[in-house]
């Protein structure tokens, strides 16, 4: 049996990960955070309020910025489908856009947007080669991002939003199955 670092019930393992009855080792890791952050300094609450205010001020523009990114994704994918560009050559650009949307979505309250963009990033991370066969998965994610922004869907607890994310995961599994054939 192999032991994962995440297994909290399995304290007894030899170096190869095999369980050995009655043997265990407790490792105490020193807390070096204080040495890295400095002695007793705290973040000024006024600075936190300033940062929160800046985020609030930018929030109104976020949908516009994100929609511009989604439109750029659409253009790239349409041009690749039309043969103007090779989709493999646009992989990094597609990833960069989706990664930016993923990172900014939660900051501005669009956690569903973050979930969809994260799914797209994970899909790209797990593709050895990107081809036009992958375009339906990429387009489905792009259209989901567009709909979330168009209808201003915030949060991720909406049942429809959860179904969108679930459907994207199913689509990715189907694509992986097709790729394996």
- What's residue 180's pLDDT? 82
Domain boundaries, the chain: 61-180
How far is residue 20 from each of residues 2, 6, 9, 24, 67, measured CA to CA in Å?
Answer: 11, 18, 13, 8, 56
- What's residue 161's pLDDT? 85
- Out of 2.60.120.10, 1.20.120.160, 3.40.50.300, 3.90.1280.10, select the CATH number for domain 61-180: 1.20.120.160
- What's residue 34's pLDDT? 65
Q: What are the mean pLDDT values of the chain's consecutive 10-residue runs (181 residues total)?
A: 44 52 70 69 82 86 95 96 92 97 92 95 93 94 95 85 91 88 82
- What's residue 63's pLDDT? 93
Least Cα distance to 93 among 72, 78, 113, 116 occurs for 72
Considering the entire predicted model, what is its pTM? 0.71
């Amino acid at each position: 049996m192999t032991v994962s670092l995440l297994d909290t019930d399995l304290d007894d393992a030899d170096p190869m990960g095999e369980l050995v009855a009655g043997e265990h080792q407790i490792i105490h890791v020193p807390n070096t955070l204080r040495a890295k952050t400095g002695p007793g300094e705290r973040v000024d609450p006024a600075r936190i309020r300033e940062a929160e205010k800046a985020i609030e001020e930018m929030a109104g523009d976020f949908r516009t910025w994100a929609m511009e990114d989604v439109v750029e994704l659409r253009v790239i994918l349409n041009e690749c489908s039309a043969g103007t560009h090779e989709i493999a050559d646009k992989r990094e650009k597609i990833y960069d856009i989706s990664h930016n949307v993923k990172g900014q979505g939660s900051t501005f309250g669009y956690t569903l947007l973050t979930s969809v963009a994260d799914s797209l990033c994970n899909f790209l991370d797990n593709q050895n080669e990107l081809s036009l066969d992958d375009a339906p998965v990429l387009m489905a994610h792009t259209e989901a991002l567009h709909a979330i922004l168009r209808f201003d869907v915030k949060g991720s607890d909406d049942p429809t939003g959860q179904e969108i994310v679930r459907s994207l995961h199913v689509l990715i599994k189907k694509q992986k199955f097709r790729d394996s054939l």
